[in-house]
């Protein structure tokens, strides 16, 4: 087995719709561990770091606007190959294309220019995971 850590966010749409517990339930049901957890409304600076790779893309500004619009739950998730595993649980970026059975496929709705309400974020590689854990949990055992 390869125990990994990944950074999961329940985005403001998930919080507003009362889906935080459902997302965390799916993570635990899969067998992953919640190592760290916090609820916060992220500021622009933190989001700019988190989404640095997307700076300059057409959806960047609306994305930061949306992500700073309300509370987000940030979690460090631990488990065997959980980086790829959580991406599988989350499903495709566009909720309409995400397969049923996935978080985005089962629960996500809105998508389009300026709208990216796909409920969750999950790190896409080991490097991204460590970088993102530092951004959200820096100084707290990150
Ligand atoms: P993912 O969140 O699946 O890793 P990503 O890293 O490519 O996807 O993009 C980050 C977020 O930006 C994504 O969750 C929603 C938004 N986004 C990505 N591509 C988009 C697009 N073509 N139009 C609108 N929003 C988009
Ligand atoms: Mg991504």
Q: What's the rounded mean pLDDT across residues 14-33?
A: 98
Check whether 140 has a pLDDT greater than 70: no
Domains contained in the chain, number: 1
Nearest ligand 1 atom to alpha carbon 93 = 3
CA angle, 17 as apex, 59 and 134 as ends, to 5°?
55
Mean pLDDT of 40-60: 97
Can you give the residue range of the structural domain that contains 122? Answer: 3-131
Q: Report CA(63)–ligand 2 centroid distance (Å).
A: 12
pTM for the whole thing?
0.95
Q: Which two tokens stand for residue 36?
A: 């760290």
Q: Would residue 138 count as lying in a domain?
A: no
Catalytic residue among 46, 50, 117, 121: 121
Q: Does some domain include residue 142?
A: no
**Cα of 115 to ligand 1 centre, how many Å?**
10
Is 139 within the bounds of a domain?
Answer: no
Q: Of 39, 118, 123, give the one whose Cα is nearest residue 87.
A: 123
Q: Is 50 an annotated catalytic residue? A: no
For position 141, what pLDDT does the model report? 47
Closest ligand 1 atom to Cα of 87? 3
C-alpha 13/C-alpha 32 separation (Å) is 23
**Which of the four pLDDT bands, split at 50, 70 and 90, describes residue 114?**
low
Is 140 inside any structural domain? no
Q: Does residue 90 form part of some domain? A: yes
Q: Give the CA angle between residues 35, 36, 42 to the nearest 5°.
A: 150
Mean pLDDT of 34-47: 98
What average pLDDT does the structure give for the chain?
A: 94
pLDDT digits (tens, 9 = 90+) for 51-99: 999 999 999 999 999 999 999 999 999 999 999 999 999 999 999 999 9
What's the CATH number where 44 sits?
3.30.70.141
Measured between alpha carbons, how far is 62 from 64 in angstroms, rounded to an integer?
A: 6
What is the rounded average pLDDT of the residues 128-142?
86
Ligand 1: distance of its center to the CA of 5 in Å?
21
Pick from 13, 14, 55, 59 the residue to mutate for probing ligand 1's pocket: most ligand atoms within 8 Å of its CB.
59
């Amino acid at each position: 087995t390869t125990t990994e850590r990944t950074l999961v966010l329940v985005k403001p749409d998930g919080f507003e719709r009362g889906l935080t517990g459902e997302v965390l339930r799916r993570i635990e049901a899969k067998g992953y561990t919640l190592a760290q957890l916090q609820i916060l409304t992220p500021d622009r600076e933190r989001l700019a770091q988190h989404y640095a790779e997307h700076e300059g893309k057409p959806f960047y500004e609306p994305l930061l606007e949306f992500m700073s619009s309300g509370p987000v739950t940030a979690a460090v998730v631990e488990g065997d190959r959980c980086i790829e595993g959580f991406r599988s649980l989350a499903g495709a970026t566009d909720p309409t294309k995400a397969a049923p059975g996935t978080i985005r496929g089962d629960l996500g709705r809105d998508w389009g220019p300026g709208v990216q309400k796909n409920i969750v974020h999950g790190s896409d590689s080991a490097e991204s995971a460590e970088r993102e854990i530092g951004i959200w949990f820096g100084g707290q055992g990150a």
